[in-house]
Amino acid sequence: MATTSDIKNGLCLNLNGKLCTIVEFQHVKPGKGPAFVRSKVRFIESGKVIEHTFSAGHKIDVVRIETRSYQYLYQEGEGYHFMNTENYEQVFINKNMIDNPEFLKEGVICTIVFQADEELPLTVELPPFIEAEVTYTEPGVKGDTATNTLKPATIDTGAEIRVPLFINTGDQIKVDTRTGEYSERLKS
């Protein structure tokens, strides 16, 4: 059993029977009274972030996690199939375990976080950027490069994002999967 002195960002622990990760923490030693650890924790199942306070020396139940590279294969119903790139083992992941699943492209290498003891998948992390083709957008007008105005566009994954006015259908672009924002146009 670990104690509050072992708390660090990213640590996965069992809190009241639910798995969560430490988002941020702060050791506090007030002038009067005992020390404590103020923290923000994210529950893995729901994604909800709450503030939690541990008293100093409190025992915490640390959960061992592992990260592995998996290749995205295809979507089936409300879930997604991934394949381990080392031993070709396949795993089925529910949609709610993936942040921004609309940016998944066939063949993309993702990082899946597993609870090591039970081999239970917890979360799927997409690569920070993907390359995508614009499948539909309103045509741009020559000279529309000076303003910072954005227009809607659909990319080949089916997601709709906002792009600058000079982007046309068929252009290759780079998209930030964390925010869903246009990053840059790629040279063809």
Instruction: Specify whether 177 is located in the same domain as 158.
Output: yes
> First-to-last CA distance in the chain?
55
Instruction: Specify whether 75 is located in the same domain as 105.
Output: yes
Question: Which among 125, 149, 177 is the end of a domain?
Answer: 125
Sheet holding 2-3, edge to edge: 2-3, 59-62, 12-15, 18-28, 36-43, 49-55
Range of the domain at 88: 65-125
Question: Which among 14, 32, 62 is the end of a domain?
Answer: 62
Instruction: Specify whether 70 is located in the same domain as 121.
Output: yes
Distance between CA 109 and CA 89 in Å, rounded?
A: 14
CATH of the domain at 94: 2.40.50.140
Question: Which among 20, 38, 62 is the end of a domain?
Answer: 62
Q: Are strands 109-115 and 90-94 parallel, antiparallel or unpaired?
A: unpaired
* pLDDT value at residue 47: 75
For the chain, give me the number of helices (H) and strands (E)? 0, 16
Instruction: Specify whether 57 is located in the same domain as 70.
Output: no
Instruction: Specify whether 134 is located in the same domain as 112.
Output: no
CA nearest 70: which of 89, 46, 56, 52?
89
* pLDDT value at residue 5: 83
Q: How many domains does the chain have?
A: 3
* pLDDT value at residue 4: 84
* pLDDT value at residue 43: 86
Instruction: Specify whether 78 is located in the same domain as 110.
Output: yes
| Residues forming beta bridges with residue 14, ordered by sequence position | 19, 61
* pLDDT value at residue 147: 67
Q: Tokens standing for 27? A: 């050791």
Instruction: Specify whether 178 is located in the same domain as 135.
Output: yes
CATH of the domain at 17: 2.30.30.30
Beta-carbon contacts of residue 57 (< 8 Å; ≥ 6 apart): 3, 4, 5
Instruction: Specify whether 118 is located in the same domain as 78.
Output: yes
Instruction: Specify whether 57 is located in the same domain as 40.
Output: yes
* pLDDT value at residue 188: 66
Question: Residue-wise pLDDT tens for the chain (188 aa)?
Answer: 788 888 888 888 998 888 888 889 999 888 888 999 999 998 887 778 899 999 988 899 898 888 899 999 999 988 899 999 899 999 998 887 888 889 999 999 999 988 888 888 888 889 999 999 999 998 866 666 666 788 899 999 899 999 988 888 999 999 999 888 999 999 86
* pLDDT value at residue 57: 85
Instruction: Specify whether 15 is located in the same domain as 58.
Output: yes
